[in-house]
């Protein structure tokens, strides 16, 4: 007898599986057919009970979200793979409120069509000193929009030391080609002068593009021109200066012992026509690329057809608005999680760690550690921190167990131990950490 004859029929599978799931019958039928088809393709025929189990498992995988809440115990504050900046309570509330019908392109005062960019422009102007601002879905989109709208078919001058690659293989030379602009590299990897830019300017030049080397540092024999000098040079020749400052801090990070990071108002004040930066890094909001500058130039971007493809939706706009408002009201360091994490005193982290360990008991330990900012910001900087640590024979097994919890807990494996760095976790989440750690300590085989 052919082995496939022993497979249950679709009807038989559906009849058996239906009481085991809440999925509609039509979905169970479709999944049963898919599982049977896969079995036939592979040629390895299981018994009927295994077929049922595979259908149930496939239905569970289909209906279980893969985007899940995570407790970030890695010590990387802006962990890109975990969504970068956790949002403030105000941002979450605003985004939930905007999930229904909202006045995204409707002027309630006039009762007529409104402008999408009007929601953020006043706040961006107030905070940066620019004339106005617009928002797109990330900084890569911001750079692409700027180059496509302002430099297609023309030349863009970039220092060789700034023709960088950022996360995900996004390279400045590649985006220039995609925009239709021509890259003109000047200077050397480590030293570029104003005279290098000036020598490259001709009738085909559209703009000078400065790119902050946000995910690496050059040290030693290096030179970068002052932005005011570059702005003066650009404007003398009737071209634009565009400045991509990366993480876009509005707060002086040196207050916390960190390396100076470009502050958006300073770059605007230096004379750049446009400055673009991230919404989801040191700003602390949802993913966005924010562009501030002169209204005459911003209008060219807003009217370009690509703008519709990269614009922000209503929910992201609501989150960015609430985040920017915290800066306007001077509550950012108290309300925005990334700044709460950066500013958390070391003794406070130690107190939290010892309190958690006291509740957990052995074999949990408290150990000093270091945290990083992450997200392509401040790549050489660390902050002292404290962690609760589970010494164990199989830390990878413990880490896998932690990722299966709800919410998932992502820590780090270091030596023969599983580490949970408390700087990347807000104090309000300590009860969840305590509950997760109790589950982990019960995994005696791994410990």
pLDDT at 445 exceeding the cut of 70: no
Task: Express each pLDDT in 301-327 by its tens digit.
Answer: 999 999 999 999 999 999 999 999 999
Residue 4: band (very low, low, confident or very high) from pLDDT cuts 50, 70, 90: low
pLDDT at residue number 260: 79
Domains of the chain: 3-63 (no CATH), 70-79+338-441 (3.90.1150.180), 87-335 (3.40.640.10)
pLDDT, average across residues 388-414:
95
Check: CB of residue 241 under 8 Å from CB of residue 44: no
pLDDT at residue number 425: 97
pLDDT, average across residues 137-162:
92
Residue with the bigger pLDDT between 167 and 156: it is 156
Angle (deg, nearest 10), helices 139-151 and 172-179? 40
CA 434 – CA 366 distance, rounded (Å): 14
Check: CB of residue 262 under 8 Å from CB of residue 251: no
- At 217, is the secondary structure helix, strand, or coil? coil
Residue 167: band (very low, low, confident or very high) from pLDDT cuts 50, 70, 90: low
What average pLDDT does the chain have? Answer: 91
Residue 119: band (very low, low, confident or very high) from pLDDT cuts 50, 70, 90: very high
Residue 296: band (very low, low, confident or very high) from pLDDT cuts 50, 70, 90: very high
pLDDT at residue number 169: 61
Burial profile 374-408: b = 16 or more Cβ within 10 angstroms, e = fewer: bbbbbeebebebbbbbbebebbebbbebbeebeee
Task: Express each pLDDT in 27-86 by its tens digit.
Answer: 999 999 999 999 888 878 888 899 999 999 999 999 999 999 999 999 999 998 999 999
Check: CB of residue 244 under 8 Å from CB of residue 281: no
Check: CB of residue 377 under 8 Å from CB of residue 342: no
Check: CB of residue 409 under 8 Å from CB of residue 387: no
Task: Express each pLDDT in 22-39 by its tens digit.
Answer: 999 999 999 999 999 998
Closest CA to 152 of 50, 304, 48, 298: 304
Residue spans of alpha helices (H) in 167-277: 172-179, 194-200, 227-236, 264-269
pLDDT at residue number 219: 66
List, in sequence order, every residue forming a beta bridge with 322; answer none if it has no partner. none
Check: CB of residue 71 under 8 Å from CB of residue 410: yes
pLDDT at residue number 46: 86
């Amino acid at each position: 007898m052919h082995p496939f004859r022993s497979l249950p029929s679709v009807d038989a599978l559906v009849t058996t599986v239906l009481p085991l799931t809440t999925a509609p019958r039509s979905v169970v039928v479709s999944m049963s057919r898919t599982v049977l088809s896969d079995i036939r393709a592979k040629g390895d025929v299981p018994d009927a009970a295994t077929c049922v189990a595979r259908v149930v498992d496939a239905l569970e995988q289909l209906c279980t979200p893969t985007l899940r809440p995570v407790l970030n115990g890695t010590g990387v504050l802006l962990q890109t793979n975990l969504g970068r900046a956790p949002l403030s309570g105000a941002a979450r509330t605003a985004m939930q409120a905007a999930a229904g019908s909202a006045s995204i392109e409707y002027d309630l005062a006039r009762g007529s069509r409104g402008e999408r960019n009007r929601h953020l422009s006043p706040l961006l102007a107030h905070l940066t000193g620019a004339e106005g601002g617009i928002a797109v879905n990330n900084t890569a989109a911001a750079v692409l929009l700027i180059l496509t709208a302002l430099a297609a078919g023309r030349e863009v001058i970039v220092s060789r030391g700034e023709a960088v690659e950022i996360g995900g293989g996004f390279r400045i030379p590649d985006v220039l080609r995609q925009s239709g602009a021509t890259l003109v590299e000047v200077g050397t990897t480590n030293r570029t002068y104003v005279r290098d830019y000036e020598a490259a300017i001709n009738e085909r030049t559209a703009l000078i593009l400065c790119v902050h080397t946000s995910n690496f540092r050059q040290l030693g024999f290096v030179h970068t021109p002052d932005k005011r000098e570059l702005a003066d040079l650009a404007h003398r020749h009737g071209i634009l200066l565009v400045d991509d400052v990366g993480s876009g801090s509005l707060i002086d990070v040196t207050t916390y012992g960190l390396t100076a990071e470009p502050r958006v108002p300073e770059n605007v004040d230096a004379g750049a026509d446009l400055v673009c930066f991230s919404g989801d890094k040191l700003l602390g909001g949802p993913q966005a690329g924010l562009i501030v500058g002169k209204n005459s130039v911003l209008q060219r971007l807003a009217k370009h057809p690509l703008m519709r493809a990269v614009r922000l939706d209503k929910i992201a706009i609501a989150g960015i608005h609430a985040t920017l408002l915290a800066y306007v009201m001077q509550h950012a360091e108290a309300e925005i999680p990334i700044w709460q994490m950066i500013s958390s005193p070391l003794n406070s982290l130690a107190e939290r760690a010892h309190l958690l360990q006291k509740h957990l008991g052995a074999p949990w330990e408290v150990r000093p550690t270091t945290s990083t900012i992450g997200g392509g910001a401040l790549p050489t900087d660390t902050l002292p921190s404290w962690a609760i640590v589970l010494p164990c024979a199989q830390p990878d097994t413990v880490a896998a167990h932690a990722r299966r919890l709800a919410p998932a807990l992502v820590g780090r494996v270091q030596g023969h131990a599983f580490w949970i760095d408390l700087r990347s976790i807000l104090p309000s989440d300590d009860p969840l950490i305590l509950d997760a750690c109790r589950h982990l300590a019960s995994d005696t085989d791994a410990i």
